[in-house]
């Protein structure tokens, strides 16, 4: 078997995501009901009816995206014969997607994951006042060049490479003035594009330390089991299975770089040929094709994707 299951991060959310699955399959509806119960509110109403501005709030988007991913997985299990334990050589998730991956692998319960992501979203938003921090995408520079740009731009402030997404896309994060300086430095070094991102906080940099502290406290109170398949973690781009290490690296992830390019390259080097993106959007599937030559990215987020996913799973078993 040469398949990996991947789980999307923030930015993939859209109003109405997951509704077709929930309408068609009781197992999907049950996941949304479980998330609503865990949070003590009807997050599902926001997911399906909006408004978009409310769904995009970090504290809502994070548990919402997890809910869609797990609802999709449950349908894949019941309708397409998917099994994390039998079919996934590795699991990986982009930022908050690591929590979805851990819930998929039985390491965390869905209810605990929803509550952790609500805490994570709130803590990340509160860590830095609105307008103080920023993030920017640097297009057309490799990771080492982007790291150099961030160091030059810092000038005593915080500016770090936050996401190494692959395909010549690196996101930098930190103090707003430093990130703005990075835009100009990147352009001078040959970046094709350098643009500020419409985000409400500077994620994955040292300014998020208060949020990391909050997650250390929250994770210490939650039971974490060994996942049924290894998780390729963002901050190492290597697989882990030990619960204590999972806790530690989930905390480190809040301020650390999302090493997505290296994670996908590692999985491909281990023989993974099919990457199933489970949940909302197609961002990760697009990145896979740019990172790993010959790899197949399959996005599964609705009923119309099930037949193709089943065929791809069969193909991955013989690849």
Enzyme catalytic residues: 95, 204
d(CA 213, CA 5): 29
Beta carbons within 8 Å of 288's beta carbon, 6+ residues apart: 6, 264, 275, 277, 295, 296, 297
Q: Are 300 and 278 in contact (CB under 8 A)?
A: yes
Pairing mode, strands 88-93 and 3-7: parallel
Alpha helices in the chain (DSSP H): 19-24, 26-39, 43-49, 52-55, 58-79, 84-87, 97-104, 110-127, 143-154, 176-188, 209-220, 243-255, 260-269, 283-291, 306-318
Beta carbons within 8 Å of 74's beta carbon, 6+ residues apart: 25, 27, 28, 30, 31
- Taking residue 142's Cβ as centre, other Cβ atoms within 10 Å add up to 12
d(CA 269, CA 4): 12
For residue 227, the surrounding DSSP H or E stretch is none
- In the sheet where 239-240 sits, what is the strand order? 239-240, 231-232, 88-93, 3-7, 274-278, 296-300
Distances (CA, A) of 206 to 119, 158, 282: 18, 7, 29
């Amino acid at each position: 078997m040469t398949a990996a299951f991947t789980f999307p991060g923030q930015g993939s959310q859209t109003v109405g995501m997951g509704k077709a699955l929930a309408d068609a399959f009781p197992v999907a509806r049950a996941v949304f009901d479980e998330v609503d119960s865990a949070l003590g509110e009807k997050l599902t109403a926001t997911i399906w009816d909006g408004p978009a501005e409310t769904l995009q709030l970090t504290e809502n988007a994070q548990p919402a995206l997890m809910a869609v991913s797990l609802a999709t997985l449950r349908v894949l299990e019941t309708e397409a014969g998917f099994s994390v334990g039998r079919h996934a050589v590795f699991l990986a998730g982009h930022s908050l997607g690591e929590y979805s991956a851990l819930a998929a692998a039985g390491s965390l319960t869905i209810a605990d994951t929803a509550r952790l992501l609500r805490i994570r979203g709130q803590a990340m938003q509160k860590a830095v006042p609105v307008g103080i921090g920023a993030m920017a995408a640097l297009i057309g520079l490799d990771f080492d060049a982007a790291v150099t740009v961030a160091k030059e731009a810092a000038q005593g402030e915080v500016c770090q490479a936050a996401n190494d997404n692959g395909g010549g896309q690196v996101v930098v994060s930190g103090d707003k003035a430093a990130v703005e300086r990075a835009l100009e430095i990147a352009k001078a070094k040959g970046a094709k594009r350098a643009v500020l991102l419409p985000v409400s906080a500077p994620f994955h940099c040292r300014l998020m330390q208060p949020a990391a502290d909050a997650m250390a406290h929250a994770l210490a109170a939650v039971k974490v089991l060994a996942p049924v398949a290894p998780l390729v973690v963002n901050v190492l781009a290597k697989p882990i299975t030990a619960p204590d290490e999972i806790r530690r690296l989930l905390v480190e992830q809040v301020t650390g770089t999302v090493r997505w390019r290296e994670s996908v390259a590692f999985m491909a080097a281990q023989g993974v040929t099919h990457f199933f993106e489970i949940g909302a959007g197609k961002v990760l599937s697009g990145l896979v094709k740019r990172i790993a030559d010959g790899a197949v990215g399959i996005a599964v987020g609705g009923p119309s994707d099930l037949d193709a996913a089943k065929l791809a799973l069969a193909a991955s078993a013989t690849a």
